Structure 1
């Protein structure tokens, strides 16, 4: 290798970069060499620029992967929200929520209101920003979550499902209130949201006021416990 020509060295660098899974170095090494020679870069400057390109690409790919894995039904960035069209209480709280301090503090957010008031868009905007800042996020409708919990119990893999669910930094549970649940569904939802309480953040979107939650859960004890657990130190 000591006596190899420049072309051979570049070829070997590309091969090593492929083996080491360094796609940006593999892709840009030749142009970076030319740029380094053109600008008389030192070895340190050349290596720094090469690694910085790889690092930046990984950071960006990480953001895109977290957004993809989160399962958002559509993309809505906070910057795209028409704040003036949101309900007054949402406008007032948005500047606070945008800091994402609620995730650091393990606090919940309850977005309640009539259909078309921007609840889901706000939650997705917050979720995407969380993904871009390195948080693990899950977006899921409440009916789908309950179905998945029931299926996991039926397949005897409920505990592994719960462990994964518990580890998300932010869970966005959309559409609470569109359909009611049976006793099993209510208990499973309550248990899994309770596992996150005080440690991990959950955003709930609902079209029902708390006074009507007993229409969903059909059990006054679970309803009261659910409201108490979700609203403790939460934003509403």
Structure 2
């Protein structure tokens, strides 16, 4: 009875979901814009055909050619504006499109929101207005002074509006981010925090209380991650490995594994790109707002051993919970004794179903007893692999391929 009396939310929740579902009413509007895009494709080729015919028949003056080309540019720019409205608007207001990891994904789509979309549209409109104004000045002999004056005034108004919108979007985005951080970390009571969705990254109470209201910027997160170099998933040479699961890596690029607190294990010989992929996922996670830490297995071993010797291993493991992703690179390159194996077991067991690990290794998990002495190797692999994506990469060393000719000589 107590649970029933404390939960008056189902009707309001149902109403909220129903209202939220009305966003799908906008979907036909975006399909209508797709049809308008088709109209502009027809207009483009119609104008192009007319231009070609007049040039072939010798009836095209230099001014006409310039004006016709500007019309084609104008059509293309309006089509680009439509694409931004269709893709960005649908992504922001209707449903996630889920193109993360695709090599052709535009840079702005990875962090699209209403502010970004409005600024992009404003700058596109300024560009279109510039082309229209240029057309008027090119055909100045057939354009009245009144039209030139008002064309210039309207263009300057577009520029001023875009500048003001861009200036206002920065403080608005910062205010929204501060409000989000305060609502998530600053004022939630313990029961409310316990009822948060499972998709949120686990952060202990003491770590949350120590955070500032302003979240670190992407650049700050990238610097703090400790990457040896910044590698992007899009830069990976997927044609080099003999065997490589591109679809799995593309899916991992969506970062769903971070929200689900799953692990990723890249297995393959040296030089096949395991570290590149691990760093690429880490960079992608930093860009998405997650905290990431990178270190080699030997560096993690030294860090954990130092905490153990100082009598603060439990505090160190809890502090690492603040990071949504830990990257452990080069597992297997250096064998560890039973004591170090126990430290790695505690790290993996502590993060089990709580936060994500990304591991690179040159040996299958079934042979980790060769790396970690003692009985903890099997229990370690059991917890690591239970909720993990295993990506096998087979092939020759990318680095040795570049010097192979010199060695052969």
Superposition deviation, residue 167 in structure 1:
2.5
1:81-230 map, 5 Å: 81-219=236-374, 221-230=375-384
Cα distance per residue 1:26-82 (max 9 Å; x no partner) = xxxxxxxxxxxx74979xx95x64342346689897111101100000010111111
- 1:84–1:91: 8 Å Cα contact kept in structure 2? no
Per the normalisation by structure 2, the TM-score is: 0.44
- 1:108–1:201: 8 Å Cα contact kept in structure 2? yes
1:235 to 385, 389, 395: 389
Cα pair distance change 1:84/1:143, threshold 3 Å: same
Distance in 2 (alpha carbons) for counterparts of 1:55 and 1:180: 52
Superposition deviation, residue 222 in structure 1:
0.8
Distance in 1 (alpha carbons) for counterparts of 2:367 and 2:249: 25
Cα pair distance change 1:224/1:84, threshold 3 Å: same
- 1:110–1:203: 8 Å Cα contact kept in structure 2? yes
Larger Rg: 2
Query: Which sections of structure 1, spanning at least 5 residues, go unmatched?
Result: 1-37
Cα pair distance change 1:55/1:148, threshold 3 Å: farther
Distance in 2 (alpha carbons) for counterparts of 1:205 and 1:112: 6
Secondary structure of 1:73's aligned partner: coil
- Count of residues paired in the alignment: 195
Per the normalisation by structure 1, the TM-score is: 0.75
Distance in 2 (alpha carbons) for counterparts of 1:75 and 1:214: 32
Secondary structure of 1:85's aligned partner: coil
Superposition deviation, residue 113 in structure 1:
0.6
